[in-house]
Amino acid sequence: MTVTTARPAPPAPGRTAPRPGGVLALMSSCVILTIALVAAINLAIPRLNNGSLHPSSTELLWIVDAYVIVFACLLIPAGALGDRCGRKGALLSGLALFTVGALASALAPGPAVLIAARALTGAGAALIMPATLSLALQTAPPERRPHTIAVWTAATGAAGMAGNLGGGLILQYLPWQGLFWCVAPISLVLFLLTARYAPRGERHPADPDIVGTVLIVLGFVALLFGVIEGPERGWTSVTVLGAFAASVVVLTGFVLYALRAAHPLIDPRVFAVPRLRAGVLGVTLTFFGLFALFFVNAQFLQYVKGYSPVLTGLAIGPLAIGMLVVSRHSIPLGRRIGAGRVIAAGLISLAGGLALLSLADADTPYPLYAAVFLVTAAGMGLSMPLLSASILGALPHSRAGLGSGLGSAAREVGSALGVAVMGTVLTARFTDRLPDSLGGHADSPGEAMTAARSLGAVEHARAVAAFTDAMTVGFRVVAAVVAVLAVVVVLWFREEKR
């Protein structure tokens, strides 16, 4: 599998060419920052509940999800904007918005302002993500481009672990505002380093597709709204079904419009390329499994195993280490034995790791739990670089930013779906298995565990058993989805060869 890029742009007069390794490290740091904030905010929920803002349950949901929705919905337009106006400029603009959004979040006097600030931060993240891979590939020599894709892809997966660990350390000692007070200066430093060391971004002039941009953003907003609200309102509620129906109508309208437009934001015909379809579905599937794991893992380690937030963050370390180690060998291995085979092995390992996690309970020793993490990490490390490369390789170099945005959008949609599916199954099963004495706390495992402790060891043990039983069912459902759709991904890769 190859990824084509143009020759790096010459450095400005009086300046040396940026070092590819340094640029890759800088771009990977930007990626880690944007995705880590998705994971870290979940750890702040207890502090937000008990803080001075006193958000309602709906406001709390939107404090968490405003960032994700805006981030995911703007990724494709942001990638196209970077292709047209310059990727370095898009990245700098995104880091500036991200910094302002983090500061506004820390200073928010009420829930409404915090939700708006989180949305602004998400807009910044959408500008950051697509530009990072394009700029990293722009400086990399041809022989190092597979390594560049592998490292960047590993950073997208490791970012979730960084968010859990960093967020846990911060929130162990600081109020929820401390999370944003720490993020803002990091973002500012990355802005200054990018301005100094990132290469001049290439530009590929094209007519802006305002209509297409509006349609695709509205379609993704409706889709993600339905996915995020499904567990809370019920999947058959009028609101959720209406959101899904609106998404289908709007995205169908986008496809019909784009097929006739002279310069569409993205031509739907590119999905006729099997490896592009396989790459998008595979990335979605991988992050579906990863964030389903993230959602339940922190609760399992804290509620069942009794870990502190810091120890919970450290405990997920094997997942990050395994991904970083294995991902470096993914693309070279794909060249030797075939990308389809490596991706198949990766997705099977991911599904197998998720299935093995369903066997964990209160008596499972951590070393065994960590070993299963390594199996799961190996699966993601094998598949993700090749899946990302397949998306980029299916599009011309002039559309590299769009390709990166498309892959990033697939990640965010997969992440939202993973949390939604795991959350729905977990809540339904937990409610069904919870003792009658704790029925009033069924909507919140944390509240149920706290109430169970006050009722004595027997009730606490029953609550723990209810949670682990629910977790078992959730992991098995997610593993089954990954296994079934992995077959589709592999078949599409084989179709490419015929």
Residue 13 within any structural domain of the chain: no
Residue 355 within any structural domain of the chain: yes
Whether 391 and 459 map to the same domain: the answer is: yes
User: Of 236, 264, 292, which closes a domain?
Assistant: 264
pLDDT at 118 over 80: yes
Whether 200 and 218 map to the same domain: the answer is: no
Whether 320 and 444 map to the same domain: the answer is: yes
pLDDT at 498 over 60: no
CATH number at residue 367: 1.20.1250.20
DSSP H helical segments within 108-209, as ranges?
111-139, 145-173, 177-197
Whether 351 and 476 map to the same domain: the answer is: yes
Say how far apart CA 313 and CA 194 lie, in whole Å: 29
Whether 312 and 453 map to the same domain: the answer is: yes
Residue 291 within any structural domain of the chain: yes
At 4 the pLDDT is 43
Whether 193 and 276 map to the same domain: the answer is: no
Residue 12 within any structural domain of the chain: no
Whether 277 and 388 map to the same domain: the answer is: yes
Residue 456 within any structural domain of the chain: yes
More confident site: 323 or 160: 323
Burial of 259 (0-12, 13-18, 19+ CB in 10 A): exposed
Whether 94 and 162 map to the same domain: the answer is: yes
Residue 14 within any structural domain of the chain: no
pLDDT at 476 over 90: yes
User: Of 156, 175, 206, which closes a domain?
Assistant: 206
Could you please report the per-residue DSSP string of 98-125?
Answer: HHHHHHHHHH-SSHHHHHHHHHHHHHHH
Residue type, 39: A
User: Of 246, 264, 282, which closes a domain?
Assistant: 264
Mean pLDDT of the chain: 83
Domain of 219 in residue numbering reads as 210-264
Residue 10 within any structural domain of the chain: no
Average pLDDT over residues 464-476: 90
List b or e across 106-139, with b for residues whose CB sees 16 or more CB atoms inside 10 angstroms.
bebeebeebbbbbbbbbbbbbbbbbbbbbbbbbb
Whether 252 and 290 map to the same domain: the answer is: no
The total of structural domains in the chain comes to 3
Whether 109 and 176 map to the same domain: the answer is: yes
pLDDT at 3 over 70: no
pLDDT tens digits, residue range 253-280?
989 998 888 777 777 887 888 888 888 8
Whether 382 and 369 map to the same domain: the answer is: yes
Give which of 33, 61, 65 is closest to 49, Cα–Cα. Answer: 61
Q: Is the CB of residue 381 less than 8 Å from the CB of residue 393?
A: no
pLDDT tens digits, residue range 392-410?
776 666 565 666 777 778 8
Whether 91 and 32 map to the same domain: the answer is: yes
With 0.85 as the threshold, say if the pTM is over it.
Answer: no
Q: Is the CB of residue 103 less than 8 Å from the CB of residue 177?
A: no
Average pLDDT over residues 83-107: 91
Average pLDDT over residues 351-361: 94
pLDDT at 5 over 60: no
